[in-house]
Each structure stands twice: as C-alpha cells, then as structure tokens.
Chain A
C-alpha cells in the first residue's frame, strides 16, 4: 500500500506547529499503525530529517500511551488503541491525517506527544482507597456481590489513554474521572471515602481546565476499553448525593 500522511509537526511546547505531508510507500496491510509510523521515521532518519515523535510503550493495547487522532477519530477508525489498529483498516492510496489529542489540559510536548499529567493529578486527588498496609487480606474476607464486582472491574479497565477527552466536543475528562469513581464506588473498600472522593476528583477535573460534560457520548463511543457512559451518570449521582448531604469538600 502507498499512503500519504498529513502529520502534525511541532518542535516543542512553544512552537506553533503545522501539518506536514509525507509519502509512505510499500506499507503492508498487516503492519500496525505505529509500525507504519516507524517505517516513516526510518525513512526520515535516512534523509537526515527529525523523526516524528509519538508516544507508545506496550504496543499491546494495555498501557494507554499511544493515542493520536486519525482522520478526526481518536485512535482511528476502529474502537481500539492506535497500536492495535492495523493498516488493513485503510486503503491503498489513502491520505491519512494524524493529529495529537487536542485539549488545553493535554499540552503538546512534541509532534504527536501530549502531557497527560492532568489525569494523574485527578487520580492523586482522590482516585485511591486509604488502607492500612500489611499482609494481603484473605480473598473472601469481604464478600462483594457479583454484579457489583463486574461493574467495578469493567470500570477499572480504563487505561487512561485520554481518547475520551480527545473525542469530546467539550474536551471534557468526565468519562475517565467517572470510570475511577465507579470502580472504587462499587466496592465495599471504597465506601468510607466515596463522597470525599467524588468531590475531590471533580474539583481536580475542573481545575485542570477540562471542559464540562454535556452527555453527548462521543467518549464512550471511542473508548478502547468500552467504559460505558452510564458511569458518568453514577458520578453525577454520587456528587449530587454528597452535596445534598451538606458535604462540600
């Protein structure tokens, strides 16, 4: 396959940045999207040009590092991570536009790499359970109903990739925040800090300059882990419950 790539190039955080067009010949349909970028980078290096910086780590869909927007869709045309997207999803002769996640909360570091530290700070604000450390408790010490365990587990599969923010017309980080609130809120261990957690995490979310959620649902539609939109409804309910019980921090 021969592919024409329009890629966002930006030398550093303060550079203005621009789209640059490259030809990538002889692409195999079995290559992953990142491998195709590797091929481009080898070619650029041989030509003495700076390779395109993109973030990646596991290349097996579990670390969440590799997000880019491909032809206007976060992680491209399949509902998966960019590393798990293959060139067979495109046609010979296609022109593909590749851009970094666009959000004030995710500033571009270089080319396609953004700083997703805002997510870390949301977790730091409340996305944890305070527990005395020691030997691991017995697995059956605290029974959890199957349905709750399943929901908690599904929410816990969020890999923090940021596709939800990239796809949201409001650049809201609410699906990510809601995934964590739901994950911990469904478990008995998460109950003591449940109200404080949702308040602190929502405050931190807003503090990071993410937009507000308006329930449009693009986030859940692009989420590679299938985090459902109803986690946001659960977060709202938890927050309203906390506020109604007079708790504001």
Chain B
C-alpha cells in the first residue's frame, strides 16, 4: 500500500458513476410516475368512447386559459423527453464503462443471485426505446395506422388492436412485459441508488418494486388485449 502513488484525481464527483446512476434513478422515477398516469388514462377505454375521448381532450385544455391550448401537455412532454434522454445517456455511459471494465471475459460464468430483470436492463431498455418511437407514431401522431386513421383517440386505439392486427398486439404485449421486468429491477435499483436501501427494508423494497411493476404490466395489457379479444369495440 505504502509504495503505490496516487496520481492527481481527474475524475469529478459530479460526473461520477454514482452521479450517473442517480440521474438514471431520478429520471426513472419521473418515467414511472408518468406510466402510472398513462395507465390510468388507458383504462378509460373501458368507460366507452365518450369518456376516453373526453379524457384525451381534457389533457389538452388543462390550465386554460392560464396556459395556451395543449400547453400543459407540452410541458409534460418536454419533461418526459428530457428524462428519457438523460436516462438513456446515463445508461449508455455506464454500459460502455462496464464493457471497458472487463476487457477479458470469463470462460465459465454463473449467476449467483441476480434476477432475470437485473441482467436484461440494457437490452430491455433498448427494446422499450424502440417501442416508444413506434408507439408515438402509432397512437399519438397516427402516421402508422394499421386499422385506419382517426381523429378520435378511442377509434385509433380500437382500430389498432383489431384481431387481424394480432402482431401489433403481440408487439405491445411483449414490450409491456419487458417494461414490467425493467421496472422490477429499476424501481429496486432507483430506491437503492437514492439511499433508501437498508437491510431491514430490503423485503419491503422488493415487494414495492414487484407490486408496482406487476400492476403497471397488467394495467397496460388489459386495454389492447380486450380489444383484440373483442371485449371492447
């Protein structure tokens, strides 16, 4: 120990790996809160066309006349986009760093305790990002409209998941499950990163993470599956 010399530190705590994952945790939490609201909005599809379209319209008039039409929605969109970009930036930075940190791989590997969720975070994240792009083109801008375009968000929803477009539903189902796995480890990780993890609380943290991930997964699956199975038309 005594004969190793310290070079002057070039690294900055503000750009450290811990700061990166904290940025990932905070933006991840913002995205989870968004997903909760989004899931609630989607479930309105079971209340019929009027309720669903009304909810969608409402999102655009919140804050009027203090804010212009759609103003609130754009504020949310900017926050979400910034969160996604920061989240992905930090993920990519840590991913590259991890790759460089182990230049020679093991010939034999064994998972000791890590969960499926924890080792699919990165590829799962990429899948989710691709999905988000497709999803916005599909149901927000309606550039992709398998069952026909419409001005009614409800009709876009219902047209898009008709049984003949089962592959669209399948893609949604797979990515929503991927989101579930991503959140299962992500929520646990975010809480740990932000300092909430104590040994005595680990059980509760795991339960919280699993429960939120499960509720969101099921909540998001209900809409598209019900349309494809003909329960909502």
Instruction: From the candidates A123, A206, A217, A237, name the one contacting B114 in the complex (CB within 8 A).
Output: A217
CA A105 – CA B1 in complex, angstroms? 15
CA A230 – CA B206 in complex, angstroms? 13
Residues A184-237 near B (CB distance < 8 A): 199-200, 202-207, 209-218, 221-222, 228-230, 232-237
CA A222 – CA B11 in complex, angstroms? 29
Q: Does B50 contact A (CB under 8 A)?
A: no
Residues A163-188 near B (CB distance < 8 A): 167, 169-172, 174
CA A37 – CA B7 in complex, angstroms? 37
Contact indicator B9/A203 (Cβ below 8 Å): yes
Contact indicator A212/B113 (Cβ below 8 Å): no
Contact indicator B101/A105 (Cβ below 8 Å): yes
Question: Please, how many residues of chain A have a CB less than 8 angstroms from a CB on the other chain?
Answer: 59
Instruction: From the candidates A172, A221, A237, name the one contacting B17 in the complex (CB within 8 A).
Output: A172
Q: Does B151 contact A (CB under 8 A)?
A: no
Within the complex, the shortest CB–CB distance from A109 to chain B, in Å, comes to 14
Which residues of chain B are near A240, meaning CB under 8 Å? 18, 22, 194-195
Contact indicator B17/A213 (Cβ below 8 Å): yes
Q: Does B21 contact A (CB under 8 A)?
A: yes
Interface string of B88-119 (1 = CB under 8 A from A): 00000010011011111111111111100011
5 additional A-B pairs beyond A71-B108, A104-B103, beta carbons within 8 Å, are: A169-B119, A211-B100, A211-B101, A218-B111, A233-B193
Q: What are 6 A-B contacts defined by CB distance under 8 Å?
A: A99-B106, A103-B102, A105-B101, A124-B4, A206-B16, A211-B17
**Leading 3 A-B pairs by shortest Cβ distance:** A237-B195, A212-B17, A211-B101
